[in-house]
Amino acid sequence: MSQRDFYAVLGVQASATADEIKRVYRKLAKQFHPDTNPGDAKAAERFKEISEAYNTLGDAEKRREYDEMRRLGAFGGYPGGGYPGGGARRGGRGPTGGPRMEEFDISGIGGFGDLFGSMFGGAGPRRPAGPEKGQSVETTLQIPFRTAVLGGKVPLDFTLDGVSKSVRITVPQGSEPGSRIKLSGQGGPGARGGPAGDLYITFEVAPDPVFTREGRDLVVQLPLNIVQATLGTKLSVRTIDEKTLTLTVPKGTASGKRLRVRGQGVTQGGKTGDLLVEVRIVAPEALTEAQEEQLIAFAEAAGLER
């Protein structure tokens, strides 16, 4: 296999950032993918070149080794003219009289470590020419609040190398915003028969119209009128898993007070939090004249300020 300059294959500068390389690769992969160009042998070959280039430049460690080889002239002429270690070379004479290498034939040479060994008489690290695992892929997924608390299965649609994929993933019970899971074998394709890479999914959690979360505790608002708060009452409260519980509100409960229902929060790490029912006293928006007079009389009798 003749090893071309991978930067030239992708059409980027050697100083390109990892994000720039990924962006260009995705664009080219989509353009030349066999599914987009059925029966086009040239497009298929171009797609193969692009994938091979990104398999190296998209991996930080492989790119570092590749850049070192490139600096030493492995893909465009050795700086000192000539090639220690007897590496195969083609292309006439270099500017100093030594042979110029337009392409370096690495047939039968196992990986970058072996290429270094070839160039420097076996001094470099050697790596066997075996299967290589594919690139890992990162993505984010917004999940419903209740699914994050209770766990469940949700669909995930994503695009990899220009190909649309769809999988169903299991959301662990008690998942928090920013938590991350791995799907093995759902990333980029492997090289030389190697396994596919992995897919890493970071969760974003959508807000819920009823519940909020504080660690393992859930918080829900409970509106009360002034009579219920003053005299006390019993009310029904629904939990996150749709159970209905009867809650006793003590006499004289102030607005903002939290009533705790144990064991009805988030289960995480083998522990379950509580449901915090936060009281909000709601005043009537309008009173009749008679009702206002009765309220004034009550305030005066109770010594309440107006």
Q: What domain range is 252 assigned to?
A: 211-289
Same domain, yes or no, for 165 and 188? Answer: yes
pLDDT at 106: 39
Q: Which residues contact 306 (CB under 8 A, 6 or more apart)?
A: 296, 299
Mean pLDDT of the region 35-53: 85
Alpha-carbon distance 244 to 56, whole Å?
A: 57
Residue 92 has pLDDT above 50, yes or no: no
Same domain for 149 and 83: no
Count of H helices and E strands in the chain? 8, 15
pTM listed for this prediction:
0.56
Domains of the chain: total: 3
The pLDDT confidence band at residue 210, using thresholds 50, 70 and 90, is very high
Give the Cα separation of 185 and 34 in Å (integer): 21
Per-residue model confidence as pLDDT tens digits over 146-204:
999 999 999 999 888 788 888 999 999 999 999 999 999 998 888 888 999 999 999 99
In a domain, 243, yes or no: yes
Answer whether residue 177 is part of any domain: yes
Instruction: Identify whether residues 231 and 192 lie together within a single domain.
Output: no
Tell me the residue type at 64.
R
Structural domain ending residue among the three candidates 119, 146, 168: 119
Cβ burial of 203 (10 Å; 0-12, 13-18, 19+) is buried
**Are 197 and 215 contained in the same domain?**
no
Least confident of 114-123, 211-220, 247-256: 114-123
Residue 160 lies in a domain: yes
Nearest to 208 by CA among 179, 240, 238, 184: 240
Per-residue buried b or exposed e for 243-271, using 16+ beta carbons within 10 Å of the residue's own CB: eeeeeebeeebeeebebebeebbbebeee
Residue 75 has what pLDDT?
Answer: 61
Which pLDDT does position 213 carry in this prediction?
A: 97
pLDDT at 268: 92
pLDDT of residue 145: 98
Model confidence at 42: pLDDT above 50:
yes
Least confident of 69-73, 101-105, 158-162, 218-222: 101-105
Residues sharing a CB contact under 8 Å with residue 195, sequence separation 6 or more, in sequence order = 131, 133, 134, 185
- Model confidence at 93, pLDDT cuts 50, 70, 90, reads very low
Is 198 part of a structural domain of the chain?
Answer: yes
Residues 83 and 42 in one domain: yes
pLDDT digits (tens, 9 = 90+) for 115-134: 444 444 444 455 556 888 98
Residue 100 clears pLDDT 60, i.e. is over it: no
Pick the residue with more confidence: 91 or 32?
Answer: 32
CB 80 within 8 A of CB 86: no
How high is the mean pLDDT of the chain?
Answer: 82
**Phi, psi torsion values for 197, nearest 5 degrees:** -70, -170
Is the CB of residue 36 less than 8 Å from the CB of residue 162?
Answer: yes
Q: Rounded mean pLDDT of 7-30?
A: 90
- Whether 103 is covered by a domain: the verdict is yes
User: Do residues 257 and 279 lie in contact, with contact meaning Cβ atoms separated by under 8 Å?
Assistant: yes
- 126 in a structural domain: no
Residue with tokens 């991978």: 6
Q: Which of 205, 227, 245 is the last residue of a domain?
A: 205
**Paired sense of beta strands 275-281 and 258-261, if any:** antiparallel
Whether 233 shows a pLDDT value over 80: the answer reads yes
CA distance 202 to 76: 41
> Higher model confidence: residue 148 or residue 51?
148
